[in-house]
């Protein structure tokens, strides 16, 4: 289970100690903390670092992304988004995380694709410079094929690297339209990790055993990539039922 990681959002309301204890109990390799989760719950970054060292668990940071767009046609929104993501990079430094996942920006209005890409490239370069200075790796996520998302294939996301070859990419299984598309995307170079969850048609990030993908077959292909496989999802409360369902399912198929 060393290559299996979990997203912190599967235990949105958990105390930090409980979150780490659950990850340790299931013998996963690490936790990807959403920066917004840390901020909303006011988790102490120093405590995250200490607990990760105590339990021997790796830490990754998923940058803030909700309500942000660093290629927005609106300069104020663009600059605010950059500042917020830089805050996530700083969180990575404080928690001892080696990598930050960043969602590429979105299109604001139709017909603005070329300018949007240029603004996105400028933003990526600025974020890369900050991350490089702090020794943090930047991983751009390949997004789902929905309106206004334009960085939805490995090729489209890779066009943002501006020749910065140390930039990596995050593949999300639920963002792939079908198994054929996923198979193609798995061949892309520079993938640093894979977000794993299922999908039911257009409903994304369902539990692994419930959806269009057969993870009992797919998991072996994913494991061969030799990168962290981060179980994604969201659950409030203290049952942690989706967390446990996913991890028990994985234990039964690997």
Evaluated on CA atoms 173, 179, 185, 186, the torsion sign reads positive
pLDDT score recorded for residue 40: 98
pLDDT score recorded for residue 164: 81
Residue 31 belongs to domain spanning: 4-253
81 φ, ψ to 5°? -65, -45
What DSSP assignment string belongs to 164-178? -TT-EEEEEGGGSSS
CATH of the domain at 118: 3.20.20.150
pLDDT by 10s per residue, the chain, length 254: 899 999 999 999 999 999 999 999 999 999 999 999 999 999 999 999 999 999 999 999 999 999 999 999 999 999 999 999 999 999 999 999 999 999 999 999 999 999 999 999 999 999 999 999 999 999 999 999 999 999 999 999 999 987 787 899 999 999 999 999 999 999 999 999 999 999 999 999 999 999 999 999 999 999 999 999 999 999 999 999 999 999 999 999 99
Could you give the count of Cα atoms lying within 13 Å of 8 in the half-sphere of its Cβ?
A: 29
229 φ, ψ to 5°? -110, 110
Going by C-alpha positions, the residue among 171, 208, 168 that lies closest to residue 186 is 171
Number of domains in the chain: 1
With b meaning 16 or more CB within 10 Å and e meaning fewer, what string describes 166-181? Answer: ebbbbbbbbbbeeeee
């Amino acid at each position: 289970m060393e290559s299996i990681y979990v997203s912190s959002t599967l235990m949105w309301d958990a105390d930090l100690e409980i979150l780490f204890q659950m990850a340790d109990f299931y013998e996963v390799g690490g936790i990807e903390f959403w920066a917004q989760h840390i901020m909303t719950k006011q988790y102490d970054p120093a405590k995250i670092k200490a607990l990760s060292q105590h339990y021997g668990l790796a830490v990754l940071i998923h940058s803030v992304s909700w309500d942000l767009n660093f290629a927005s046609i609106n300069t104020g929104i663009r600059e605010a988004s950059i500042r917020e993501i830089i805050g996530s990079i700083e969180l990575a430094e404080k928690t001892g995380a080696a990598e930050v996942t960043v969602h590429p920006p979105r299109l604001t209005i139709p017909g603005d694709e070329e300018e949007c890409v240029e603004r996105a490239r400028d933003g990526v370069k600025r974020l890369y410079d900050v991350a490089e200075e702090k020794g943090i790796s930047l991983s751009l996520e390949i997004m789902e094929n929905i309106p206004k998302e334009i960085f939805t294939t490995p090729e489209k996301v890779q066009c943002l690297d501006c020749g910065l070859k140390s930039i990596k990419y995050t593949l999300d299984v639920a963002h792939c339209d079908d198994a054929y598309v996923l198979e193609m995307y798995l061949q892309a170079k520079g993938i640093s990790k894979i977000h794993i969850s299922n999908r039911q048609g257009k409903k994304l990030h369902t539990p692994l055993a419930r959806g269009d993908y057969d993870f009992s077959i797919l998991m072996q292909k994913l494991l061969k990539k030799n990168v962290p496989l981060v179980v994604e999802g969201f659950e409030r409360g203290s049952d942690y039922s989706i967390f446990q369902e996913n991890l028990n399912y994985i234990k039964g198929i690997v």
